[in-house]
Structure 1
Amino acid sequence: MKKKRKKFKPMSMKPGSIPGSLTYIGREVKEKTKVHACVYDETEVKRMNVHRLDSLGNLDRQEKLTWIDVDGVHDIAVVDELGKTFNLHPLLLEDVLNTTQKPKIEFYEEENQLFVVLKMMHFDQENLEVDSEQISMVLGRNFVLSFQELDDTDIFETIHGRLDNPASRIRRYKSDYLLYALIDLIVDYYFLLIDRLNGHLEDLEESVLDDPQTEHQNKIYRLKKEMSYMRRNVLPLRDMIQALIREDSDLVGKQVNVYLRDVLDHVVQILETLDACRDLADNIMNNYYASISNKTNEVMKTLTVFTVIFMPLSFIAGLYGMNFVNMPELQNPHGYFYTLGVMAVIAISLWFYFKWRDFL
């Protein structure tokens, strides 16, 4: 599906509203919210499309792990009902419904829950634009809730494939490993996005060196803007994962911290690559300006050479164009041809002189 940078409708939350008031802030969506449930352990995996939210209370959440994936957060009633079923904090639900959140992590000690907000980013290669959708995740004792904006693509398809493998770590580990797997998948998408950005930059670099055009300048500005937008969404993720590793919580085990540190290394690598891409974009822009300046200098040099060649010719033509009677050369029957010959010799001599000095 072709994606464009989201334009949000004005906030309908009034100043002075009670904290935790449920108000959806995001794109206008007409499709219905979809809720998918996955209950699993080492022996089996059960998936279901949830049509009645009250049926979630019947899931075996004591012995098995539960993953609830909500596709579309515009339906306040669905989010509210899930909040009641899983005892979610009202401020947490408020952040889920506000899709303008920056990436962050929150710990709710009383509910013994952990809340994470990430940005899943997509790259529109036709318009050279990065679009993002908010992914919110809640980690509980035996469950993980994921909330994503309504989209045609299933970004967690890979995770479902790993769940089908009885030997996978997701099946053997607790819910904290599932949270890690979801975060790691989103970070992996960042690498794909950067590869595409870097590919466009390399193509631009070659084009600018071969034949710089005005459209190249526009593309460079757009790519730099998108890289800044991407960096703003990735940078908080580094602090989030560090806080998650440092947090002394029984929700995240030490064995998962090892994997989280690997994700942290990936995030740092992504930030370094983004900085390198921005430096490359700056170099391409400098090359563009240098190429344009060289072209201008070449044009000015050519115009200067022709000006110098025609200056003595203009002087001679102006000299003999004066209306004086007593000009001896005017009475010579061959004076016109002598003058043209002298002018031709001067022009040809200057031409060869400039060629000899590599001005042409």
Structure 2
Amino acid sequence: MADTILRRGANASVLAQAIINTVIDLALPIVTAYKDVVGSLELDILTKPDIKHTSELYITTTEIEMIRSSVSPILNIVKSLRDKKNDKVDTPPSTSPGGAPHVRDDDDNSESKVKISAVALTYLRDAEDHIILITESLDSMRKSCTNMIDLIFNTISAYQNESIKQLTFVTIVFLPLGFLTAYFTVPFTDFADEKHSQKFYWGITIPVVVVVVLFLARNILTWYYRRMVQRRFLVRSRKANARSE
């Protein structure tokens, strides 16, 4: 068997901090995995926001809250063990007036029997730093998910307002066109355009429709192009950061 501090020292406090460190080490990959999940959702939301992302963010936030509630008691345990005072352990027993030693009650003196070694205190400080880092990361991810949910609703609301504006513009433009169409459909006795075939009608209608659609959808096309460029830039920057780390 390997010769370790646990085997050489035979100290209960060192064993306790080893168990706590093991729990913390197992929690670190979980936090890293959730960072990747939140980062992927953030990339999708910034480039292609959708109302469906809110359900994924809600589930992720709930899971992060559950992990946070499971990790918080460990921080309290580490703080209580680190702040434990050992000066009560070596106090001699008091004597009664008759000279007989006074026996203390175990229930009243249970805390004084806990002794934390210097080695355990050193490792507990390191464990406290790690657990604080984990809790702060979880809180940061939870806030990010909440902010992304607000961003989704604000973005969708802005898109709806833009769509209403475009529909209003189309209505304003095509109201006089509808009036002109109704006017020229009145049966005249002599109307020169009636001599042309349907190709003449489609030759005028298709270019007009294409120009109108491109003009009205110019903001959407520009936004889509910018989102594609931003998405490629973000993916490349994340890959570069991952390689540098």
Same fold (TM over 0.5): yes
Where in structure 2 are the equivalents of 1:60-79 lying within 5 Å?
none
The structure with more strand, counted as a fraction of residues: 1
2:116 to 240, 249, 253: 253
1:235 corresponds to 2:99: no
2:122 aligned counterpart, secondary structure = helix
Out of 195-204 and 255-264, give the one that drifted further.
255-264
Label 1:193 to 1:310 Cα distance change in 2 as closer, same or farther (>3 A). Answer: same
1:287 corresponds to 2:154: no
Instruction: Give 1:143's aligned residue.
Output: none
2:188 to 330, 355, 360: 330
- Equivalent residues of 1:301, 1:359 under 8 A apart: no
- Equivalent residues of 1:234, 1:271 under 8 A apart: yes
Higher relative contact order, structure no. (Cα contacts within 8 Å, ≥ 6 residues apart): 2
The amino acid across from 1:333 in the alignment is F
TM-score, normalising length: structure 1: 0.44
1:315 corresponds to 2:179: yes
Which sections of structure 2, spanning at least 5 residues, go unmatched? 86-111, 221-245
Structure number, greater radius of gyration: 2
Instruction: Give 1:76's aligned residue.
Output: none
How many angstroms apart in 1 are the aligned matches of 2:47 and 2:115? Answer: 54
The structure with more helix, counted as a fraction of residues: 2
- Equivalent residues of 2:45, 2:53 under 8 A apart: yes
How many angstroms apart in 2 are the aligned matches of 1:319 and 1:206? Answer: 53
1:216 corresponds to 2:40: no
Please tell me the root mean square deviation across aligned C-alpha atoms, in Å. Answer: 3.5
The amino acid across from 1:171 in the alignment is R
TM-score, normalising length: structure 2: 0.62
- Can you list the C-alpha shifts for 1:141-185, whole angstroms capped at 9, x where unaligned? xxxxxxxxxxxxxxxxxxxxxxx321x111122121111101111
Aligned residues: 186
How many angstroms apart in 2 are the aligned matches of 1:286 and 1:226? Answer: 19
Instruction: Give 1:200's aligned residue.
Output: 37
1:355 to 215, 222, 232: 215
- Equivalent residues of 1:187, 1:267 under 8 A apart: yes
How many angstroms apart in 2 are the aligned matches of 1:359 and 1:331? Answer: 45
Label 1:312 to 1:203 Cα distance change in 2 as closer, same or farther (>3 A). Answer: same
1:352 Cα deviation from its structure 2 partner: 6.5
Instruction: Give 1:179's aligned residue.
Output: 16
